[in-house]
Amino acid sequence: MKGLVVGNGGREHAIAWKLLQSPQIETCICTPGNGGTATLQGCQNLDIPIDDFAGILKAVQDNRVDFVVIGPEYPLSLGITDYLQQHHVKVFGPTQAGAQIEASKAWAKELMLEAGVPTAVSQTFRETTAAKTYIAERGAPIVIKADQLAAGKGVIVAQTLEEAYQAVDDLIAKGFTPLVIEDYLAGEEASVLALCDGLTVCSLLPAQDHKRIGEGDTGSNTGGMGAYAPAPVASPDILAEVTEKVLKPTLATLQKRGIDYRGVLYAGLMISPEKQIKVLEFNCRFGDPEIQAILPLLETPLEELILACIEQKLGVLPAIRWKNGSSICVVAASQGYPEAYEKGKVITGIETAEAQDVFVFQAGTQWVNHQLITDGGRVLGITAIGETFQSAREKVYQGVNCIQFAGKTYRRDIGYRVC
């Protein structure tokens, strides 16, 4: 079989890598892919942008691709699945209607309310004065969120009223309206990525992402600076509760709205010290870097899971098989990320790292004149698995130390809650 993966991040490198481990997969195409997928054996990059639907369809038809996996949320929110399905392509990823669960936080909040899914109290505002009046009523800390997709940069957790008012002004000045203003939730976060075939949901191993740029979870929010799996905070009991109270009612409500949701339903959760779960957000695709930590532990061939979602056979699929052990992924980013950063720095040491039993998933990289150079904010996701989190962590940082590029920035404390 041939698979095509849309996207160019670490997530897409990890998906292509995992697909190609299956004897059923002859080749994989990435549109557009990155420096990592360019040199992955069995994989080919085609320089087609993620929102060029006609170009992607042509690549599918020309290469007789059997199924397509959509990595990022952006093309899903633009309706790539609807477009490809109209041309009889098998696609993993929800339709435009389903992708609203990530593309509009207000829409997702309303869906959660209807489904009875536990989530923070919130209100949606289009106008500054009303937003600030609401903030004054609710008090700080409080969370201000851009309704629309903002690549991890549209959420401000304000500790004081002044910060909250400033956040409203800043987000509105950047053109983000409406805003969702939400009560602050304390606790520990977990990412539960569930497969969904429109009828059934089935969660993968839970993961924990480190969203902040700074050690000890401080500083700005990013797309994710590292992740580990399985996250013990989402114990089997919690996971069962997430399935019953979050995933199933969400799917039922999507069905009620006539949305046939096939792909990943990702629940970003806050788990309080009293073990109460609340949904912070839904995403409509695999989490990145979470999936870079999860896939190395997966035993079941990935295409079996993907095809079961597309063909609505998740309910009859045998239980997903996992390797024993623990996985940690550390993101190496460009200096300055998540703000402005430079590109074009030469990367060395990947082979040395890989010789030490770590996986180096590439995100913002490309080949120029036979040199691998940085080409984005998050550059690499270095992942190791071990019998314990401690052993995975030792290995992964040995790998990180093998790799060099000017301005290499990473957190030294990924997995600190479990090590």
In sequence order, what are the residues at sequence separation of 6 or more whose Cβ sits closer than 8 angstroms to the Cβ of residue 271?
A: 187, 188, 189, 190, 233, 234, 238, 277
Stretch that binds ligand GLY, among 108-116, 125-133, 286-294, 346-354 (CB under 6 A): 286-294
Are the CB atoms for 380 and 10 separated by under 8 Å?
yes
The answer to whether 246 contacts ligand AMP (rule: CB under 6 A) is no
| Distance from C-alpha of 176 to C-alpha of 150, rounded to nearest angstrom | 9
In the window 202-261, what residues touch ligand GLY (CB under 6 A)? 209, 223-224
The residue behind tokens 């295409």 is 303
> Which uninterrupted H or E stretch holds 143?
strand 142-146
Q: How far is the CB of 106 from ligand AMP (least distance, A)?
A: 12
Q: Which residues pair with 265 in a beta bridge?
A: 194
What Å distances lie between residue 162 and 21, 155, 408, CA to CA?
52, 16, 34
Given the complex with ligand AMP, which of 145 and 345 has the nearer CB atom? 145
In the window 198-237, what residues touch ligand AMP (CB under 6 A)? 211, 221
Stretch that binds ligand GLY, among 81-89, 280-288, 357-365, 402-410 (CB under 6 A): 280-288
Are the CB atoms for 265 and 247 separated by under 8 Å?
yes
> Which uninterrupted H or E stretch holds 163?
helix 161-173
Site mask, ligand AMP, residues 125-164, x = CB under 6 A?
------------------x-x---------x-x-------
The answer to whether 12 contacts ligand GLY (rule: CB under 6 A) is no
Mapping DSSP to helix (H, G, I), strand (E, B) and coil, where does residue 122 land? strand
Given the complex with ligand AMP, which of 161 and 199 has the nearer CB atom? 161
Residue 288 interaction partner, one of ligand GLY, ligand AMP, none, beta carbon < 5-8 Å per kind: ligand GLY
- Edge-to-edge strands, sheet with 277-283: 201-203, 188-197, 262-271, 277-283
Stretch that binds ligand AMP, among 28-36, 178-186, 238-246, 380-388 (CB under 6 A): 178-186
Mapping DSSP to helix (H, G, I), strand (E, B) and coil, where does residue 60 land? helix
Are the CB atoms for 33 and 98 separated by under 8 Å?
no
Give ∠ CA 158-166-120 in degrees, rounded to 5: 35
Q: What backbone phi and psi angles, to 5 degrees, belong to 176?
A: -90, 100
| Number of chain residues interacting with ligand AMP (CB under 6 A) | 14
| Distance from C-alpha of 166 to C-alpha of 175, rounded to nearest angstrom | 14
In the window 265-294, what residues touch ligand AMP (CB under 6 A)? 268, 280-281
Given the complex with ligand GLY, which of 122 and 283 has the nearer CB atom? 283
The answer to whether 287 contacts ligand GLY (rule: CB under 6 A) is yes
Residue 224 interaction partner, one of ligand AMP, ligand GLY, none, beta carbon < 5-8 Å per kind: ligand GLY
| Number of chain residues interacting with ligand GLY (CB under 6 A) | 7
Given the complex with ligand AMP, which of 29 and 280 has the nearer CB atom? 280
Q: How far is the CB of 361 from ligand GLY (least distance, A)?
A: 13
Residue 409 is given by DSSP the state: B
Q: Which residues would be at the binding site for ligand AMP (CB under 6 A)? A: 120, 143, 145, 155, 157, 182, 184-185, 189, 211, 221, 268, 280-281
Q: Which residues would be at the binding site for ligand GLY (CB under 6 A)? A: 209, 223-224, 283, 287-288, 290
